[in-house]
Amino acid sequence: MSNFAGRELELKLELTHDELRRLDAAPMLRDWTVGEPHTRTLRSIYFDTPDHRLREAAISFRVRSDGEKWVQTVKTGTHVSNGVSHPGELEVTVGKPEPDLKSVKDTKLRRKIARVMHGSALEPVFETVVKRTARQLHTPAGELELALDEGVVRTTAAETPLCEAELELKSGSPASLLEAAAKLFGDEQVRLADRSKADRGYDLATGRAEDAPLPTRAQKVVLSESATCREALAAMMQSATQQIFANRRVVLETDDPAGAHQLRIGLRRLRSALWAFRPLLDTPASRDMDAHARDLARVVGELRDADVFIEDMYGQAAGVMDGHPGLHPLKEALSAHRLQKRDAARAALQGQHWSALQIYLALLPRSIEEVKSLNRPVAKFASKALFAAWKKAAKKGERIGSLKGEERHKMRKLLKKLRYIVEFFGSLYPHADVKPFVMQLKKLQDVFGYVNDVVTASQLEGISDEHCREDRECQRATGFVIGWHVSQAATCWAGAEKDWKNLDKSRRFWE
């Protein structure tokens, strides 16, 4: 029987052990308590895809022991801001400590979760074990519940203590929560929580410290029609530079896979900008900068590939294999491989190529101030740059039906370059003209991206052989994962020619 509890409104506080004890003994709390406080131990297992897609979509999916039964809880809108959480919540009793998507009765939510998962498996990410003392409170303004939690958040490799209070509004207006909180906590030096239990668990799972940097997406480049090519190139480089610096820190300080993904995008965007303006700026400095960015992108790309092996290749096939005994050792082998690639990426991001690149990132935008060829209006130059990028991709597209292996990979890179250049110059054109072209381009990119990932996944055999050569089940699982994706890629590629024709027929907005 499911219970959709609507949206919670609760105040979360971070406490020390002594603060929790003092709060539990507060005279006003005893006056408001209805019945006896109820203390129990709760174990909550949080599930997500290997690349944490649910978290990215602000969805929390847990299964919690409650006495002799297991309760599955799905929360949406899980962000905590200044101690206040206002999530939607859906609960249902399940038979075992495993996620059961079919039991999510809200059809819209169930479809959203399935769409976010994209066929990937749900696996345990972390768990919390807390001793919870809950009090039902009757105040003059409304009914509330105070939960005092003390315990741990833990993964298979680490754990961290947890001590917090949650004051939840059960009935009454938000003013009721404010009034009660002011009376209970107003004289204490309490700290509003800025993270939920789920946030703490994900931070632990990804090695993120409380003040660690977050992955950063690209800032949109907005150009005016009166801008010069110098101003446009400087804006593009600044956007890429911010993305590179921010995500370099993420890779160095955390294990969050989104950091490597966004860092690689930043490096590619930088190189695409340099390529687009090469007819106007082709100097030893710009070429040298491009070479350092290329070499760093290669190492970071290997880390990103290792992430994809786990997130997409393993994750989606695991959703089909459902409990195969070789899955766990294969996941361990892929994790060990990713650790090697992460160490290599971190070394490179503190090595010679980075030392040189950061100097160019800081000084090249200033050094172009004297380049006279960049004085011309960008509005006229943009059409030429877009046409040049399109022409290179179209030359490959004419033979899309016969493209194999390396040629497909080259066209994938050309499509990415085209996409970045469209994004750079897109603000100069009507959005209604740009959007249809970008949508068709993204669809084709997805096909090429997946097909290339499957080609790269042939490395799984070597990884499996290196880390679990004697485990036959691991070898079988590896073969299944590769074979399943090869089959999926063949089906995906079957529509590539049609997708290309649709892109080719799209109105080229720069003409």
pTM of the model: 0.84
The b-or-e profile of 112-134 (16+ CB within 10 A means b, else e) is bbeebbeebbbbbbbbbbbeebe
Instruction: Quote the Cα angle for 198-315-263, to 5°.
Output: 70
Over pLDDT 90: what percentage of the chain? 76
pLDDT at residue 414 greater than cutoff 70: yes
Phi and psi angles of residue 92, each rounded to the nearest 5 degrees, phi first: -155, 140
- Mean pLDDT on 257-274: 97
- How high is the pLDDT of residue 152? 97
Q: What is the dihedral of CA 314, 315, 321, 325, to 10 degrees?
A: 60
Return left, alpha or beta for 41; rule: phi > 0 is left, psi -120 to 50 is alpha, else beta: beta
pLDDT at residue 490 greater than cutoff 50: yes
Are 348 and 475 contacting, i.e. CB atoms less than 8 angstroms apart?
no
Band of residue 171 on the pLDDT scale cut at 50, 70, 90: confident
- How high is the pLDDT of residue 1? 32
Instruction: Quote the Cα angle for 322-323-328, to 5°.
Output: 120
List pLDDT tens digits, range 97-118.
999 999 999 999 999 999 999 8
Are 10 and 79 contacting, i.e. CB atoms less than 8 angstroms apart?
no
Are 51 and 201 contacting, i.e. CB atoms less than 8 angstroms apart?
no
Q: Helix, strand, or coil here: 365?
A: helix
Q: Could you tell me the residue ranges of all domains in the chain?
A: 2-205, 229-505
List pLDDT tens digits, range 215-252.
999 999 999 999 999 999 999 999 999 999 999 999 99
Between 192 and 123, residue with greater pLDDT: 123
Q: Look at the block and give the residue holding tokens 């409650």.
A: 66
pLDDT at residue 5 greater than cutoff 50: no
**Mean pLDDT across the chain, nearest whole number?**
92
Q: How far apart are CA 359 and CA 248, in angstroms?
A: 15
- How high is the pLDDT of residue 257? 93
- How high is the pLDDT of residue 36? 92
Q: Please name which of 223, 206, 224 lies closest in space to residue 215, comparing C-alpha atoms.
A: 206
List pLDDT tens digits, range 312-332.
899 999 988 878 999 999 999
Q: How far apart are CA 267 and CA 277, in angstroms?
A: 16
State the sign of the Cα–Cα–Cα–Cα dihedral 105, 108, 112, 115: positive
- How high is the pLDDT of residue 6? 53
- Mean pLDDT on 323-351: 96
- Mean pLDDT on 155-159: 92
CATH of region 2-205? 2.40.320.10
Q: How far apart are CA 125 and CA 199, in angstroms?
A: 12
- Mean pLDDT on 291-309: 97
Residue type, 95: G
According to CATH, the topology of domain 229-505 is CHAD domain (1.40.20)
Q: What is the DSSP string of 275-340?
A: HHTTTT---HHHHHHHHHHHHHHHHHHHHHHHHHIIIIIIHHHHHHH-S-TTHHHHHHHHHHHHHH
Residue 333: count other Cβ atoms within 10 Å of its Cβ: 24
Q: What is the DSSP string of 469-511?
A: TT-HHHHHHHHHHHHHHHHHHHHHHTTHHHHHHHHHHS--TT-
- How high is the pLDDT of residue 294? 98
Are 123 and 334 contacting, i.e. CB atoms less than 8 angstroms apart?
no
Beta bridge partners of 473: none
Q: What is the dihedral of CA 406, 407, 408, 410, to 10 degrees?
A: 90
- How high is the pLDDT of residue 82? 67
- How high is the pLDDT of residue 325? 95
- How high is the pLDDT of residue 173? 81
Contacts 24+ apart (CB under 8 A), 346-353: 346/251, 346/252, 348/295, 348/296, 348/299, 348/300, 349/248, 349/251, 349/252, 349/296, 349/300, 350/252, 353/292, 353/295, 353/296
| Residue 234 tokens, joined | 């400087």
| Residue 318 tokens, joined | 């695991």
